[in-house]
Structure 1
Amino acid sequence: MTDSRPNTSDYEQLFLNDTPLLDVRAPVEFEKGSFPQSQNQPLMNNEERQKIGTCYKRSGHDAAMALGHSLVNGKIKADRMAAWIQFTKENPDGYLYCFRGGERSHLVQSWLKEAGIHYPLVTGGYKAVRSFLIEQLEESIEECNFVILGGKTGTGKTRLLEHLPSYIDLEGLANHRGSSFGRRIGGQPSQIDFENRLAIEFIKSRNAGRTTIVLEDESKLIGRCCLPLSLKEKMQKAPIILLEEDLETRVQITFEEYIEQNLFDNICAHGKDTGFATFADDLLASLDRIRKRLGGARHQELRTIMEEALLEQRDHNRSQKHRDWIRTLLRDYYDPMYEFQLEQKSGRITDCGNCRQLQQKYSNANLNKLFSE
């Protein structure tokens, strides 16, 4: 790689093009917040970073720099150089960055240059890009119009979203289905990562001319990820399309997503036996989390049915008994809560129908025109 590309401050294009990014910050920094297309190959690990920070406070910049060069030297430096070089070969159009676009990224850039590789960096580093995304997020929330897709638990709102021309999947970004049973394999992103992902989705939508966006009806929290206050406030005033399905259809959708898909994901992640055990433990723990709201007797009744269903599924590969507790939970627990909440929103409902009807009506619709008034 001999061609010299300039450093960039065009943050928008980084995300519109899903440009690969080499993050040379320490792992602890990366875990607090990063970008979807970034890969962490640190200049310093967490322990080294801490030592250098302590040295800087006690003895100043020059001493800290000297310590850094002594810690990242020899085989350690060679191994890290090898990882960076491999990244540049696999991602010739990428960029590298550190926290502020300062000494760490410039040092990595200079070491790569010594190896004959001219690799550009993101000016301003993570801090500047994060500030840009925060600004874009708030600007997008202010300028975009929203349509809320509502419906009882199990109606398949996320499935319908995917057939609409302009949507953002909040639950997908949060990696959580939004209910007490909503945990997914891989865990949730940090709050900062969730906000970054959301901002990037808005950037892509607006760049494509989509300024009226469908969002699934969500509470303030999706698992542990919190919606921006400005977004939640605007969602509470937006028109609602109501997805309606009969109870048995909802039981089937819930069964497919929370039983079949969750078990499949766990087996893929952990293997057959451990995967099933993890799936079963998570399911029981989800029910236990709503014990107080269910009441002791109803919780115990549902837990017994769930335990029987899990045993039958494990020992005889029959999973249909799960439908019994799903049906009861939907009808007697989730439906009354949603109906109460829907009463407060009834004046905002602009349309309703089942999945087939709404998909037929809106899948090719220009939502910008449809909800412009």
Structure 2
Amino acid sequence: MMTHTYNDYEKIVLNKTPLIDVRAPIEFIKGAFLNAVNLPLMNDEERRLVGICYKEKGSDEAIRLGHKLVSGKTRLERIEAWASHLEKYPDSLVYCFRGGLRSTISQQWIIEETGKEILRLNGGYKAFRNYLINALIPSQHTIPVLLGGFTGSGKTHMLKNLRNSIDLEGLAKHRGSSFGRYINPQPTQIDFENNLAYDLIRHRHKGHNHLIVEDEGVNIGRCIIPKQLFLYFKTGNLILIDLPFEERLLNTVDEYVFLSQAEYVKVFGQEQGLLKWAEYIEDGINRIKKRLGGDLFKRVTVSFDLALNKQQLTCDCSLHSNWIEILLKEYYDPMYRYQIETTGNKIMFRGSTKEVLEFLKAIN
């Protein structure tokens, strides 16, 4: 049977093409692509057995074992899973690691048993991954701009209102601070890079003159911005949001307390969720203990304990602003003020939220 392949990787990114990944789950977990679903030809154990057979008896015997393991009811179940996905996403592509035997067999079975046409991703995961890695090389036609500001300035919110920006923290699923973890885990490094490459390709396709990103360190939680790209970002000029302290405090309380607690309560329930959230905050405070120093650490800890106790007894969250105010005034603000004073980046513009937003929209 003649089967057809597809290799326009850019269109896959721009069109957000759905993908069927027929690799084993253990491979998928290590790294995959946006809009990909894992509907494996072989599960982890079947893949392991076929791998052993290949090493001991060669390719032909391994293929025979694979067909034996994935036969009868098992074979029909996997075809049905593919067919069900294609009912919802008829323009899906199928791929395996190198675009070879596993995706070819899957493609043939789909066509033979369901009559549905499906294209196979040429070169599979490996070729598409290499394409995305190359997309992480900085573009010479785009000027990076760094958006900065003290903690609570609303940088992430502003990025979401700009069409020529990329939200690095959003891609990393981390707020970029000691209290930056979400309940859901961060992506693997491979997934972070793949998702970042998707955004860069789309940004370049739109022809923007500037790329606006938040002024980040190389690490966002456990995700690492690729070195060459990070150095490129750091050549950009700085735009600073100046927001009154009272507004920054409100924003930070909203993020660290109300929104964060809501996540934990949604997952664990009211009582257990509050306890889990408290553990998360305590862990964040302990991680910066050495940098806070003994006296400041004690004051923050005592203030947090008082706030938590009051909330547990009376449902009053008002005291949480106290420990956050201490952290902002005596830890985060001095640290960021020093960074700005010693930065090698030119400060192109600074102003209120409205002024910065208008400036950023204008420079493109």
1-structure distance, mates of 2:294, 2:43: 49
Give the corresponding residue for 2:44: 46
* Compared CA separation, residues 309 and 214, structure 1 to 2 (3 A): same
Amino acid of the residue matched to residue 243 of structure 1?
I
Give the corresponding residue for 2:66: 68
Gaps of 5+ in 1: 368-373
Give the corresponding residue for 1:117: 116
Match of 1:332 among 326, 330, 346: 330
2-structure distance, mates of 1:270, 1:107: 43
Give the corresponding residue for 1:342: 340
Give the corresponding residue for 2:241: 243
Amino acid of the residue matched to residue 330 of structure 1?
L
Match of 1:266 among 264, 267, 275: 264
Mapped contact 1:148–1:215 kept (Cα < 8 A) = yes
Match of 2:302 among 297, 301, 304: 304
Alpha-carbon RMSD across the aligned residues, in angstroms, is 1.7
Q: TM-score by structure 2 length?
A: 0.95
Give the corresponding residue for 1:153: 151
1:233 Cα deviation (Å)? 1.2
Amino acid of the residue matched to residue 237 of structure 1?
T
Gaps of 5+ in 2: none
Mapped contact 2:138–2:229 kept (Cα < 8 A) = no
Give the corresponding residue for 1:231: 229
Give the corresponding residue for 1:135: 134
Match of 2:11 among 13, 21, 40: 13
Corresponding residue pairs, total: 362
1:347 Cα deviation (Å)? 5.4
Give the corresponding residue for 2:278: 280
1-structure distance, mates of 2:200, 2:39: 28
1:341 Cα deviation (Å)? 1.2
SS in 1 for 2:20: strand
CA offset digits 1:9-65 (Å, max 9, x no partner): 001111101111111111111111111110111111112111111111111101111
2-structure distance, mates of 1:347, 1:52: 55
1:208 Cα deviation (Å)? 1.0
SS in 2 for 1:251: helix
Give the corresponding residue for 2:204: 206
1-structure distance, mates of 2:264, 2:47: 36
% of aligned pairs identical? 42
CA offset digits 1:340-366 (Å, max 9, x no partner): 111122651011012122123333x24
Amino acid of the residue matched to residue 22 of structure 2?
V
1:95 Cα deviation (Å)? 0.8
Give the corresponding residue for 2:93: 95
2-structure distance, mates of 1:158, 1:234: 20
Q: TM-score by structure 1 length?
A: 0.93
Query: 4+ residue runs of structure 1 moved beyond 4 angstroms?
Result: none
1-structure distance, mates of 2:95, 2:263: 34
* Compared CA separation, residues 75 and 274, structure 1 to 2 (3 A): farther
Q: Which moved more, 1:305-314 or 1:148-157?
A: 305-314
1-structure distance, mates of 2:359, 2:178: 32
1-structure distance, mates of 2:177, 2:203: 27
